[in-house]
Amino acid sequence: MRILFLGDIVGSPGRSAVIGNLARIKEENKIEFIIVNGENAAGGRGITPKISIDLLRAGAAVITTGDHVWDQREIQEYFPTEPRLLRPINFEKDAPGSGSVVLETAKGKVAVVNAMGRTFMNPPLENPFTMLDTEIARLREEGVRMIVVDFHAEATSEKIAMGRSLDGKVSLVVGTHTHVQTADESIFPGGTAYLTDAGMCGPDESVLGREFPSVVWRFKTGLPTRFPVAKGPVRLCGVIVDLDEESGKAKSIVRFSELIKCDNPDESESL
């Protein structure tokens, strides 16, 4: 089973590039299952029902999120209607939606689990380590062997610790949130593929997808300002993993990075 995971989609430039190129990328790379993080797809903060539908129609099998998941209020009512859209599993139990999903494929069941770190993150969260242990044990008892975890976290140490904690229990642990693709892809001794951060799908000439003059001004002055989503060429970043369908163990992991030269629409939802 070959899986493509794409990192945080940023604003209309990022989502337009993903939607417009996903079918081609799937065909060229012989991808069989696609996961995207839609955390910043709506103007750089959150996701809307329409964007979710567009990404699923474009070929995404599952959409994960993170700390900005509730920033677009209309998404709360949509969550119960779409199990393929995930929010971090360690939010309060009464939060709308689910933190995991299992999908049937021609090569067996694939589970995707979304969790969020607690170090340097704002929302009050349950312990992701203990919650993931419980959820993954449940999935494995149900016979699911191919399990992908999107760990949306700030601290590199917390991400690596999560990867080591889950080694041998899941197929892939991939980090999101920091928007910069790391170069530490590896397969741990237990057969779990790992990458600290998948990077982002957003404007290449930017600061984490935002117009850099505004961000530079903020750092220089310390004064509040708006951070519009940048324009220009978009870099799509992520990771491709090959899994053994019987054991769920990773056979290979390769970083994915492609620069898309496209005309960006106006980012009407800029912050």
Are the beta carbons of 14 and 202 closer than 8 angstroms?
A: yes
Q: Is 179 a catalytic residue?
A: no
Q: What are phi and psi of 45, to 5 degrees?
A: -145, 110
Do 144 and 102 contact (CB within 8 A), yes or no? yes
Q: What burial class does residue 235 get, using C-beta atoms within 10 Å of its C-beta: 0-12 exposed, 13-18 middle, 19+ buried? A: buried
Choosing from 68, 152, 177, 179, which is the catalytic residue? 68
User: Residues 237, 256: contact at Cβ < 8 Å?
Assistant: yes
Rounded Cα–Cα distance for residues 152 and 197 (Å)? 9
* Residue 93 buriedness (CB in 10 A; 0-12 / 13-18 / 19+): exposed
DSSP state of 80: G
CA dihedral (109, 117, 46, 265) positive or negative: negative
Listed residue (103, 109, 57, 58) closest to 84, CA to CA: 103
Query: Hey, which residues does 6 pair with through a beta bridge?
Result: 36, 238
Q: How far apart are CA 255 and CA 189, in angstroms?
A: 19
Question: Which residues are part of the catalytic machinery?
Answer: 68
